[in-house]
């Protein structure tokens, strides 16, 4: 991997913060989700990112990726732009008298807000890459519906409310053939179902092999 900063650039010796390391790790997960890195490269770079002590050790991990994947490593003078808004905390999915879907291989930020107003939203996590072990989805369904599809082995904890609406499916058939452990991914659901529906869907047992890559 080529160096992102010249050898005499002061960025090289600036100490990296935990936020710098987390930002680079999130950018690497996004690149992996898009197929720009294979599993071995992704794991190796993530390991190096969390061991890095300076910005000079972090910057080469992103230097051969498109600029939009790079993290801001050192204030306003850094040539590296921030993460795209779609992957930043607070990512939003909104459907007003419409239908919105997010699925496939995508990076799930720490917090996602979904709103369905006389519409429907589908959030498919079965092939998604979670940025951390516990993520939050704020699901507000107002005369609409929000469906969250999750693979077996993911624990869904519903902390939301329903007013003349319904919330269903959390933790139902969560394990399947994948055991639940203290390190299992957790999706925390919040928000309100107001004359609407928020539901969680796990794969049916007969289709489990498909989601395990068999």
pLDDT by residue, tens only, the chain of 214 residues = 444 444 444 456 778 888 888 888 888 888 888 888 888 888 898 889 888 888 888 888 888 887 655 544 544 334 333 434 444 445 789 999 999 999 888 888 889 999 999 999 999 999 888 878 899 999 999 999 999 999 888 889 999 999 999 999 876 555 556 667 777 899 999 999 999 999 999 887 654 444 445 4
Residue 51 lies in a domain: yes
Task: Determine the pLDDT at residue 52.
Answer: 87
Q: Is residue 135 part of a domain?
A: yes
Which residues are bridge partners to 76 per DSSP?
Answer: none
Q: Say yes or no: 98 and 198 in one domain.
A: yes
What is the tally of structural domains in the chain?
A: 2
Say if residue 108 is in the same domain as residue 90: yes
Q: Are residues 109 and 155 in the same domain?
A: yes
Both 102 and 194 in a single domain? Answer: yes
Domain end, chosen from 47, 63, 83, is at 83
In a domain, 196, yes or no: yes
Q: Determine contact, residues 115/135, Cβ cutoff 8 Å.
A: no
Q: How many whole angstroms separate alpha carbon 131 and alpha carbon 27? A: 10
Domain contains 3 = no
Asked whether residue 165 is domain-assigned, the answer is yes
Shared domain for 131 and 183, answered yes or no, is: yes
Q: CA angle 143-148-151, nearest 5°? A: 165
For residues 117 and 58, membership in a common domain is answered with: no
What pLDDT, on the 0 to 100 scale, is given for residue 31? Answer: 84
**Residues 200 and 131 reside in one and the same domain:** yes
pLDDT at 172: 59
Residue ending a domain, choose from 83, 111, 138:
83
**Does residue 123 sit in the same domain as residue 166?**
yes
Residues 138 and 179 placed together within one structural domain of the fold: yes
Q: Which domain holds residue 178?
A: 86-211
Query: Which residues of 42-177 form beta strands (DSSP E)?
Result: 91-96, 99-102, 107-108, 111-117, 120-124, 129-130, 134-142, 145-149, 155-158, 161-163, 166-168
My answer on whether 79 and 164 are in the same domain is no
β-strand pairing of 134-142 with 166-168: unpaired
Assess if residue 5 is contained within a domain.
no
Q: According to the model, what pLDDT value does residue 208 have?
A: 43
* Inter-CA distances, 92 with 52, 126, 139, Å: 32, 19, 10
Is residue 4 a part of any domain in this protein? no
In a shared domain, residues 77 and 116: no
pTM across the whole model = 0.56
Is 18 contained in some domain? Answer: yes
Same domain membership, residue 144 and residue 117: yes
- Domain end position, chosen among 24, 55, 83: 83
């Amino acid at each position: 991997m080529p160096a992102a900063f010249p050898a005499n650039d002061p960025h090289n010796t600036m100490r990296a913060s935990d936020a710098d390391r987390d930002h680079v790790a999130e950018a690497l997960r996004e690149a992996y989700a898009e197929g720009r890195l294979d599993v071995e490269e992704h794991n190796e770079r993530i390991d190096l990112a969390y061991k890095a002590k300076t910005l000079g050790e972090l910057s080469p991990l992103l230097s051969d990726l498109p600029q939009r994947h790079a993290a801001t490593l050192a204030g306003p003078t850094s040539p590296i732009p921030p993460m795209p808004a779609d992957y930043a905390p607070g990512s939003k999915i909104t459907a007003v008298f419409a239908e919105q879907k997010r699925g496939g291989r995508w990076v799930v930020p720490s917090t996602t807000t979904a709103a369905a107003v006389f519409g429907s939203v589908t959030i498919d996590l079965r092939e998604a890459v979670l940025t951390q072990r516990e993520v939050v989805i704020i699901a507000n369904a107002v005369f609409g519906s929000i469906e969250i599809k999750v693979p077996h082995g993911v624990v869904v904890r519903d902390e939301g409310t329903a007013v003349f609406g319904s919330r269903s499916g959390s933790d139902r058939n969560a394990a399947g053939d994948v055991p639940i452990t203290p390190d299992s991914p957790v999706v925390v659901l919040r928000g309100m179902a107001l004359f609407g529906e928020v539901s969680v869907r796990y794969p049916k047992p007969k289709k489990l092999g498909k989601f395990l890559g068999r």
